[in-house]
Chain A
Amino acid sequence: MSTIKSSSEDLTLNADGTGRDIKFQSNGVEKASISSAGAFTSTTIDATKLTGEKRNYIIDGDFTQWPEGTAATTVADTTYMSALWRSRESVDGTATSERSTDVPTVDASGHQSAYSLLLKCTGTDASIAAARNDRIEYLVTGSDFAHLHEQQVTISWWCKTSAQNSGHNYNMLLWNSAVDRAYTVSFSPTSTWTQFTHTLTLDTSGTWLFTEADIGLSIQFVLASGANYDDLTEETWGASSADMWSSSGTAISNFYDNTSNEFYLSQVGLYLGSTAPTFSSESVATVRDQVDWYVQRYDYNSVANERCAPAYAENTTVRGCLTYRNPLRATPTATISAAGTWTGFHTNGTASGVATGNGLANLGKHACHIYLTGTTGMTHREGCQVGRDSSDTTWIMLDSRH
């Protein structure tokens, strides 16, 4: 074997002269070239080794952001669990969702996750009624979905169960915004972390939406479903009336048949093409910004009396302007902690009475009006500040999720 080698400085291959290409041959036959314009051409390219489009269209598929909190909470229909995954449920049983540190090993997945999403059955529903179901849902915004429409995609997810429901059959489900087009495939997780991947071509029929205001694609994991929703054919796009599984395929199990049942979900990815790369997440700064487009939570807990906004006193009402750290997708719903956790502050720093009422108004994509009422001690027309009362649990959440 002969080797061209340069250990102490760059190695230059120079096809000297205008328009000259660099050629690679084997046994006298050209196998690859780099043209004078810089284009690389090869007779065979190992596509699995390319580092081209590997964008994960699932934001925070690594479950790092939990604005609603990380502790076990009883799930309710349309309530979000982690930042962008929500519960859809109508069963008679109960379940909790929480952040778990049980994650796939690096040896298995090639990625060290910190957290997974964990659902636990806490109350049984032994026989799911025809019109009942339970799902975990992620909504791809229309403008992101536009990059995928009618193209081949691969969905990858890692999941596991408890020993009790190991081997259950659940379904991965795709819907359009109107819920009249659907695709489903069953999968059978076990009590060992397992990766599931599924490649399909996205629907070429029906109505699909592509704007920032729209839901482009709903991705769901169906854990229980009644017979009203069983009219799909597995791995085939079809018309749907909110259908979720196929009774002609693998029968769906019932996550609610035992209070020892658990379902863990981790490292979810949606990629263009026929393969899923080893899961990787964007930097935490990027993920936080991406999630901020949909939901922002402000916990004023870094110092006592932490300030939130400059303000102005109108009698005993303090009115301020809260400017968001990032713009939001749409005008948000805003939630504010109890009035007693807020205080108006004089500009010299002294507090001026705990609020007896509070609110947020003029809700925009960039800022809103925050007000505290009953802040006795303020002088009318006094410049002041809105802030945390002492070391109370003081927070605001802005929600522009679909």
Chain B
Amino acid sequence: MPKSASANFTLYPLLWLSVCFAVGLLSANFLSLGWEIYLIICLIFAISAAFFIKRNFALIFISVAFVAVGGLHFQIENQSIAENRVKKLYDQNRIISGDPIEIEGVLSGKPELAVGGFFLVLKTERAVYKESEIEISGNVRLFAAAQDERIVNEYEQLNLNYGSRIRVGCRLRRADDYLNAGVISRTELLDQKQIDATAIIKSPLLVEKIAETKTFAPLAWVYERRQNLIVDFRNNFNVSTAGVLIASLLGNSHFLDKQTAEVFRAGGTFHVLVISGLHITFIGGLTLLLIQFFTNKKLWQFAIAVAFLWAYSLAVGADVPVVRACLMFTILLFSQVIYRSRTLLNSLGFCGLILLLWRPNDVFTASFQLTFASVGAIVAIAFPLIEKLRTIGDWSPTAETPFPPRVPVWLKRCCETLYWREAVWERENSRQLWSANLFKSPHLKWLEARNLQTFARYIFEALFVSTVMQICLLPLTIVYFHRLSLLSVFLNLWVGIVIALESFAAIAAVFLANINATIALPIIKLTEVLNRLLISVPNFFTENSWANLRLPTYSGAMRAIYIFYFIPLIFLALALHRWKPFALHSKSKTSDSILFSPALLRFAAAFLLLLSALMIFHPFGSPKIDGRLHVNFLDVGQGDAALITFPNGETLLVDGGGKANFNQTNLGTKEEPEFFEPDTRSVGEAVVSEFLWARGYSQIDYVLATHADADHIQGLSDAAVNFSARAAIFGRTPAKDTEFTALHAVLQKRGIESVRLSRGDVLTFGDVKIEVLYPPRDDSPEAASDNNHSLVLRVIYGQRKFLLTGDIEKKTERELLNASEFLQADLVKVAHHGSRTSSIQEFIDASKAKVAVISVGKTSPYGHPHLEVVERWKNSGAKVLTTGENGTISVSTDGQDLQLKVYNRENIYR
């Protein structure tokens, strides 16, 4: 890296050093050498660099030394976790996740309000576990459910505050729930937030306030203001507006409702709802503008703006991304104050170094990568390019640039249209002894006559920056969000402007509402109208699925494509820096001019296009057809989901997991109920869809719902939205069932045909036959689709048979035993998650199964699987596997053999 950029090395030393450092961190993750080895490598190269300090290649030594420092830092950081950290206690199984424990600690902030309760972050100090007292450390997050008035009052009496020392009894958990390939680990996400474990507080009686500790008064004040603002926003605005404002201004996303959030996600504008670099830049810029009224001392402006910004970031909880953005803004601004030259890239490198020293593990997080890719895109590509376009458009003959830029005419005309300043030129012209006529773009007059030039310039620059960012972030958005929003460049512009207006209106409204409610009313209405505009316009565009693509990702070696994408991109960025539109044609062939020859540039651009096409259209993604029948039982917690891949490559998703509607809360009055569904990721999206994307699927041929219970059918709606499907298969179609109608609506919108099956039907997929054993035919819309009317299927390939039973209970099992020869199978998906309502002995005997798969979470709210059922299957000689313990359970057969694999290897021999 330093070699190819040796010319740049002197200009942006910190950038390259931070890149080396990051490379060291990344490599240390794969190469786990001891820290001593890194130290030795580092010292050797540092000393050699010192020795050859006068020589050119010393640079390489220094770079390698920095890579080694990165590795060293990573090793030390990850080995030096305190022995009594909650994280470590749970990871080493010294405390079992989910066991009751009493913890004592100090609240590190005010309770974070949410719908239906609030969150507490507790800095733990002591714990009592199994009657023995231990010293612990680390943060835990507790959710206190407070739905009804009485409980809310009781919590208010406790008066929990920033700095309160409390003692809580709870079942603290630190465990991953959904063990499937491609599903992001929950503990990892919590670790990124520096939270070691979580729990739900069952009752206010379990919380005891011991004392108030001394707190930093300004911080307490700031926290207080923020909470009051949250309450103000909630009291004054409707649900959607309050949700957007609280999330985007105050950094609390618990009030965002799912529908609103989804509109932002689909448009690629969700980042405005998370306090991020954009906010910090905007707020920082605004304060700078304001301060310019009061003082024109640069250092003062800087100090005040930065102080305000840090107060704000502390107020909104000082999450890592906010602190990161704030730090970057401070450093970038400081570099402007001090040097006042264009060393933004160098400052960016400095930020990187500091942030990586602070939290080396962040280099693996989506948030860090997105921040750096986007800031890098702006600083390294967008700004320099705009600057060059400006000089082209602005050109008039001067001593330095006597000749017009050597660029194509169309480009020159475009730039002139945007950047040529006629007034300046006229003034300049009148001062000179000579006079000249410059022929500029013909559209210029038209624009200038209407005073539109400045406006056009702003629009162009915003769109341009946005486009550059999109291009640079493409692989990241695909890998992390599986999304590509074709209109996001435009929607970002719209959302950015409207949300800024909405924020100003909201602050004004809240300010007035504190004085008098009636004065505030028109402004409150205005805010709500703006919010409607904010949501409806993007919604109008993203309703079409072509504008909002969901994309699968490559796995295995093909994953390298996401990194290779950056190689031509960096090459083009370097070429851009070298591009001198005013330089006279130089005949001398240096090595540089060969490296950046037009042919090679064209090749790099073509390569970039090719790679993005590979990422978007995903031609080699889906797994190879290997002539085997695969069944993957996913770990969807409490619920069922199984992906069947047929030998001919066709796919069938049997159930999609889901959760009972526990989290819909009714806000608003009785006459006008406003249902609130919090913006939490559903199982169908976060587990089933992620699993399918990670396997490279962008379409599922068929989806099948065994019956209409939420934990089976709900996730299919997400699957039908995120993947294209040919048909949906049902046993019964109960028109009045809310879960079914939700799925039905999605299917109709996407134009997916529904098929009804009943006893006696047989489906064939190549050589695989699926027999439908249950339920009997009933086409009426009133037909029940409960547990006992689940679709029961037997999948047959060659000698091997798999029996999928849905949630049938004893009654149906007995009915099926009338034709017991159809129940024989090598593998049975145990009915109803291993509940004692099902799996009667006769049924087990009739199946003669070798493997019994129970689809159930690690901890089930219903106590599934019931021990006696597990015993019954075991006694029959079957190997019993639960998805909660094993994660994804994969079976495959070529018609003769039977291969069994589980995702969570730790538990295979249990």
Q: Are A and B subunits of one complex?
A: no
